Structures are given as structure tokens and as C-alpha cells.
Structure 1
Amino acid sequence: MIILFTSLHIQELMKSFSINLSYFITTLVIVVIVALVSRKFNLETKEGPILWRVILGCIQLVILFINFISETVWGSLSLFIIFIGLEWFRHIIIKQFKDTHNKIIEYERERENLNNTFRTVRSERHDYLKHISAIHFLLESHKHEEAKFYLDQLVDSYEETNLSIKGETGVVAASLHQSYKRAKELGISVDYSLDVPISSLPMSDRDIVSLVGNLLSNGIDACEHWQIEKGKQALITLDFYKRSGLYILTCENDSVTIPAKILDRLYIDYGVTTKGETHEGLGTKIIKDIVKKYDGFLDFVHKDEKFLVKIKIPLIK
């Protein structure tokens, strides 16, 4: 529709200047221009409120009709400018709608993660006395080896939750816990080494969740791919500590070889991904934008089938 309407407007504008161009040439030029502009500004055209799209489409159709009956150069030029302005306004509306829709989905996911983490902690607390009673019975029965084995299993299950929630705010703890569970379900080894709570970052909880969530999600996806290709257990580590007025967050994971053309644009452009065509490639750019928002520094290294991301955030809020 954009290409068709723009071509017709251009044709009418050229006629006002007594210039005759074939529809084929006009359409070809418009296709190239629309493709370049869409790529440059990441234009949204396929989503958004149906009512807004219908209303704006009808207005643009009316403007096109007026342009057909307009007999002045300035009239055609003004109508064409109005058409372009409406199209840009449509892009803004659709982009805001998509951003809002994505935020709602993210909030729903965070809420579900928080509820799941709360249920896990509540369940562990509910069963705590039962576990103590079981261990007490085994010790009284002089079954020390069985008691030790039972206690080792209990410590492992509690460690999973404790690594995620100690000192963290609810939403951050939930995000860490769900990432830990997802990695474990895929058979990936996970190591959280957090000298200070990640919640102490001078950021909003939402930005912390987006930052850490995308780091871990990308790392887990890379580990899963690596495991399938290598047939061995992958490892992902998340370190967080404070040094010389900086918070330093690092995430390292096993990774298959990444082409240089993707590495060069990985944290720069949207749509750059190593996960195939079904992924939008938004995570890395979101990470970069959050780091930039808080005047931080991001660096990454891919070497010997290891991918390391290091982020430094100033201590001062």
C-alpha cells in the first residue's frame, strides 16, 4: 500500500512539473527508497492497532483522491508532504503499540517467574521440618551413610534456590532462579558467583532484569547449541563484583564458532542473531542500550569456543 500510494503521488507530482515517467520506473525507485528507509529506521508496518491503521489508510486514500483532482504544483507537493507525514505518524503509533505490547508480555513473564520462585521457596519452607525429621530418624537408626546421602541431596536442592535469591529483590531473584532452572533442565552446568547482590546495580529493577535476563538467555541458548554439536556438557558462569568504583558483571559460556560478520555487528544493530531466522536478534542490542543508558562499558571476546561478555557500570547513581 505504501509503495502503491507513494508511486501514484509521485506520478501526479511529476505531471504537475510536466515530467512523464513510466509507472514501472517510479515504482522501482520507490521500492528501493522504502527498503533503504525501512532498514535505516527499522520501520514498523505489519503490526499495530487495526482501527488506527484503517483510519490512517482511509485518510491517505482521500488525500490521494484530492491529489488526482488537484491542478497546481503546490497543491500536489503539499498533499504529498501530508501523505509522508501521516505515514511517519503511523510508524510512530505502531512502534509505540509494539513497545507497549512487548512490555506487557515482559511484565507477565516477570510476574510468572516471581510467582514460581515464591512457590518454590514456600514449598521448601513447608517441607523443611519433614526433612529434618527424616534425617533425625536416620541418625537415630544409626544409618549414617543414608543420612549423609539424604542431606547431600537436600543441600543440592536448596543451593539452586539460595544462589538465586540471597540479597536480591523479588523480580531479580525470580529472573536468576528461572534462568538457573532452565539451564539445569537442559543439562547445562551453572555457576553463579555473586560477591554482592546484582540488585545493588544503580539501575531500575526492570533494566536489571532485562540486562541479566538477556545475558543468561543468550548464554543458555549458545550452550544448548554447543551441547548438541559437541555431545558434552556445557558451562555458563555469571560473576558479579565491585572494584574501584565500578560494578563488574561478566557472563561466560561455551559457544560454537560465530562468523566474523555477525560478531562485528552483534551489540550494534537489531536483528543480528546466531540463533536462526526464527529469532529477532533483539537481546544483544537491548543489553548494549541498557549499558549505554547508565554510562557503562561493554566488551566481549569469542575465543576457543568460549564467549565472554564483560560489563562495567559506574558505582555512582
Structure 2
Amino acid sequence: MIIYWFVLSLIGFIHIEQILMNLSWQLPYYLTYPVILIISYLLIKKMMIHTIDITQKWHILLSLTQLLLLLTYIPMKPSLLMVAIFLIFIGIEIARWDVAMKMNLLINDQKQYEEERSHLTETFRIVRSERHDFLKHVASIHYMLENHHHEEAAAYLDDLVDGYEETNLSIKGERGSVAGILQEMYNRGKASGVTMIYDADMPFSTLPMKDKHIVTLLGNLLSNSIEASTEWKIHSGKQANVSLQFYKRSGLYMIICQNPSLPIPTPILDRLYQSFGQTTKNKHEGLGTKIIHDTVHDYMGSLDFTYKEEEFTVKIKIPAIHQGKIEESSE
């Protein structure tokens, strides 16, 4: 990646030097090239789509085209035509980034579909397993009651109900992919020692959004909350709870997610959910928060968050508008 940007800045430097030849005065190369290097460095820090996602064939083709443009300067005398050549160079680079972005989206979609399939498979495996064992549990309880082991039967039944309740919290009334992500996040939180609380007046599948966007929204929202809660739990030594509420009020679907969090620096809070690279967690790129923001924005929703006394709260409002109307307005 660094080599790519170094070569790109070098080619850009040659173009700019040729254009400057049209001026009556010349800037020394040791002033122009450092400026181009700095601009390239800032682009590296700003851009999150990596050109390595493009196949080698495309890289070679686009790079050869850019190098061939440099050959046109050999017989050419200084003229404004050089500006046009430089613009062609920029256009080729824009095309490279456009292809890289589309490929990156396709790769992310593929990963998301694979995760959804995995979550869905696991959810149905759990349901089938519980259904398969149901009669066995009933037989065991019946035997204990017949033999007047009432306390043992009650304890056994309580344990059984708790297990079924965990699954029921995630899948009741939900479509397959949404049930899968809720179950996956529930299991992930439980494995991290974080208590997951789902308080929904209706299925999340009733949101006027495509299933893949609901999965993206809930997956990133809960994943961020679980990771922040786990870090807080490790540092504080206290039990961490993640609460996810969902209800409808006055034509708006409301999603409220709360979790404990370690202190968040003010500069990060000011730009959270606005740009890539902003995150409350260590060793993360901060992609999830921007994805959440973009998903909410695409459905004409609003997002607000507060951090007070080590409690982080995200409030999302989605208008109760038919999905088809949203898609038409976005076009």
C-alpha cells in the first residue's frame, strides 16, 4: 500500500512539473514533491477503501495506461494540453478507486451473507435440538412427579424454561436472518460474561428496512456494545449489561441500545458516527459506527447518542414509511 502511494505521488509529481513548465517561473522540485507526498499521506489516512481489493490484472492495466501518458510529454512542447493529460491521469485514478470501492462492497456483502447463513443455521440447529429433546424432558418431569419428587421436578423445569427463554428472546416473530443475528449476539454476549437484555414490543423484522440492512444495523450496534461492555467489565470488575429496546411511538420506530463504557475522549465523541476511524474501542478501525450512521440515514432516520457516568446510550428513530416509498425517494 505504501509503495502504491509512493509511485502514485511520483507520477503525479512528474505531471505537475510538466504543467509548471508553462509558467515563466519554476518551483524547485524539492518544494513541490514534498507537498505531493504530504497530500498522498493524508489520502492514505483518510481513505478506508484499499486498492489491493482490485485484481492484479486491473492494477497492471491502469498503471500501464498512466505510465503511457507520461510518454506523451517527450515530444510535446509546453502547452495547456498538459493540463488535459494530467486530468486524464486523475480520471484513471478515480476509476481505480471506484472499482476498488465497488469490489469492497461486494466483498463485504459476501461476508455478511456468509455470516447471516451461519447465524441462521445455528439458530435453526438450536430450535431443532430443543424440539427433538422436548418429549424427553416431558417424560423426565412426568417421572419425577409420579414419584413425588416435586422439588426436583420444579428445579428441572425452571432450568428448562430458562434455556428455552434464551432462544425465545431472539427468535419470536422474527424472520430467519434477523433471528440469526439476534441469537448470535445473545450467545456472543453470554460467552463474554455480558448480560443481554432484549426488550421489544414487536419483532425487529417489522422495521421498514430490508432484512440485510436490519442485520447490518443490529449486528454492528450490538457488537460495539458487547465489546465496549467487555472492556468495561474487565477494568471495573463489575457485571455488565447490554440493553436493546424496540418499540413504536407516533409513527416512529425507536431503537435504544445501552451499555457501560470506559471514559470516551471528547474529540472521539464529537465525531463518533460521522466518519470512519472513530471508535470508542482499542485496536479497531471504527467502521461499525459509520456503517450504523449510513444505514439509518439511508432510511431517512435519525441517530442520537449520549455518554454519562460511564453509560453509553444510542437512540435511533426510523420513520414508519413503507420500504418501497423510501427506495423511490432515495432514487
One of 295, 308, 312 as aligned partner of 1:307: 312
One of 230, 252, 270 as aligned partner of 1:246: 252
Find the counterpart in structure 2 of residue 211 from structure 1.
217
**Given that residues 17 and 73 in structure 1 are in contact (C-alpha distance below 8 angstroms), is that contact kept between their aligned partners in structure 2?**
no
Distance 2:91 2:307 in 1: 44
**Given that residues 194 and 239 in structure 1 are in contact (C-alpha distance below 8 angstroms), is that contact kept between their aligned partners in structure 2?**
yes
Find the counterpart in structure 1 of residue 242 from structure 2.
236
Distance 1:81 1:162 in 2: 59
- TM-superposed CA distance for 1:17, in Å, is 3.3
Distance 1:274 1:310 in 2: 17
- TM-superposed CA distance for 1:285, in Å, is 1.1
Instruction: Give the AA of the match of 1:274.
Output: T
Find the counterpart in structure 2 of residue 316 from structure 1.
321
1:114-136 Cα deviation digits (max 9, x unpaired): 11111111111111111111111
Normalised by the length of structure 2, the TM-score is 0.91
**Given that residues 116 and 177 in structure 2 are in contact (C-alpha distance below 8 angstroms), is that contact kept between their aligned partners in structure 1?**
yes
Distance 1:40 1:214 in 2: 22
One of 68, 72, 88 as aligned partner of 2:74: 68
Distance 1:138 1:120 in 2: 26
Find the counterpart in structure 1 of residue 286 from structure 2.
281
- TM-superposed CA distance for 1:78, in Å, is 1.9
Distance 1:11 1:270 in 2: 34
Is 68-77 or 176-185 further displaced after alignment?
68-77
Find the counterpart in structure 2 of residue 161 from structure 1.
167
- SS of the equivalent of 2:72 reads helix
- TM-superposed CA distance for 1:23, in Å, is 2.5
**Given that residues 54 and 99 in structure 2 are in contact (C-alpha distance below 8 angstroms), is that contact kept between their aligned partners in structure 1?**
yes
- TM-superposed CA distance for 1:149, in Å, is 1.2
- TM-superposed CA distance for 1:167, in Å, is 0.6
**Given that residues 241 and 260 in structure 2 are in contact (C-alpha distance below 8 angstroms), is that contact kept between their aligned partners in structure 1?**
yes
1:52-104 Cα deviation digits (max 9, x unpaired): 11110111111112223322413322211111110111111111111111111
1:283-316 Cα deviation digits (max 9, x unpaired): 1111111111112121111111111111111112
Find the counterpart in structure 2 of residue 112 from structure 1.
118
**Given that residues 21 and 78 in structure 2 are in contact (C-alpha distance below 8 angstroms), is that contact kept between their aligned partners in structure 1?**
no
Normalised by the length of structure 1, the TM-score is 0.95
Does 2:230 match 1:227?
A: no
Does 2:90 match 1:84?
A: yes
Count of matched residue pairs: 316
Q: Taking structure 1 as reference, are residues 227 and 40 closer, same or farther at Cα in structure 2, changes over 3 Å only? A: closer
- TM-superposed CA distance for 1:178, in Å, is 0.4
Matches within 5 A, 1:12-161: 12-36=18-42, 44-161=50-167
Distance 2:145 2:198 in 1: 33
Question: What percentage of residue pairs aligned between the two structures are identical?
Answer: 48
**Given that residues 303 and 317 in structure 2 are in contact (C-alpha distance below 8 angstroms), is that contact kept between their aligned partners in structure 1?**
yes
Matches within 5 A, 1:251-270: 251-270=257-276
Where structure 1 has 5 or more consecutive residues not aligned to the other structure, the ranges are none
- TM-superposed CA distance for 1:24, in Å, is 2.0
Distance 2:79 2:39 in 1: 23
- TM-superposed CA distance for 1:46, in Å, is 3.9
Distance 1:265 1:14 in 2: 39
Instruction: Give the AA of the match of 1:130.
Output: K
- TM-superposed CA distance for 1:29, in Å, is 1.5
Does 2:286 match 1:271?
A: no
Distance 2:49 2:25 in 1: 30
Distance 2:78 2:26 in 1: 16
Distance 2:84 2:267 in 1: 43
Instruction: Give the AA of the match of 2:286.
Output: G
**Given that residues 173 and 203 in structure 2 are in contact (C-alpha distance below 8 angstroms), is that contact kept between their aligned partners in structure 1?**
yes
- TM-superposed CA distance for 1:21, in Å, is 2.9
Distance 2:56 2:153 in 1: 63
**Given that residues 183 and 220 in structure 1 are in contact (C-alpha distance below 8 angstroms), is that contact kept between their aligned partners in structure 2?**
yes
- SS of the equivalent of 2:238 reads coil
**Given that residues 50 and 100 in structure 2 are in contact (C-alpha distance below 8 angstroms), is that contact kept between their aligned partners in structure 1?**
yes
**Given that residues 18 and 78 in structure 2 are in contact (C-alpha distance below 8 angstroms), is that contact kept between their aligned partners in structure 1?**
no
